[in-house]
Amino acid sequence: DTEVTQTPKHLVMGMTNKKSLKCEQHMGHRAMYWYKQKAKKPPELMFVYSYEKLSINESVPSRFSPECPNSSLLNLHLHALQPEDSALYLCASSQVRGRKIDTGELFFGEGSRLTVL
């Protein structure tokens, strides 16, 4: 199984809503990532979890709240978002060796396309 599964594929929410994006992998990877991607732009790193602990937060606004309940799951909780937060949110995972990356290859999900009205 070499899949990273993201749900939902599409999400429309108002600025006062609370919603969550979910990501799941069963490859035994211990590093998981959230990226934000605008149309025709490269992905921008938001968060990195290593061994279920938050290791990198790229100064992301607090209206985005990540959570890693176990080694297979990664959530992104959304609250009070702005229209400019509309984007494709990509989850990825990678293998690690000890506390360092292994091959460095990231496995990406198909993404959750978020629209904030």
Partner 1 sequence: AQTVTQSQPEMSVQEAETVTLSCTYDTSENNYYLFWYKQPPSRQMILVIRQEAYKQQNATENRFSVNFQKAAKSFSLKISDSQLGDTAMYFCAFMKIDYKLSFGAGTTVTVRA
Where on the chain is the footprint of partner 1 (CB under 8 A)? 31, 33, 40-43, 45, 48, 50, 55-56, 90, 94, 100-101, 103-106, 108-111
Strand 64-70's sheet: what is its strand order?
4-7, 18-25, 73-79, 64-70
Q: Which residue number, 14 or 28, has a Cβ lying nearer to partner 1?
A: 28
Min dist CB 14 to partner 1, Å, is 25
Q: Are strands 112-116 and 10-13 parallel, antiparallel or unpaired?
A: parallel
Return the SS3 of 85: helix
Min dist CB 16 to partner 1, Å, is 30
Q: Which residue number, 18 or 99, has a Cβ lying nearer to partner 1?
A: 99
Residue 78, both tokens: 């959304």
Min dist CB 111 to partner 1, Å, is 7
Q: How many whole angstroms separate alpha carbon 34 and alpha carbon 45?
A: 6
Q: Which residue number, 22 or 79, has a Cβ lying nearer to partner 1?
A: 22
Min dist CB 70 to partner 1, Å, is 19
Closest by CA to 113, choosing from 34, 37, 19, is 37
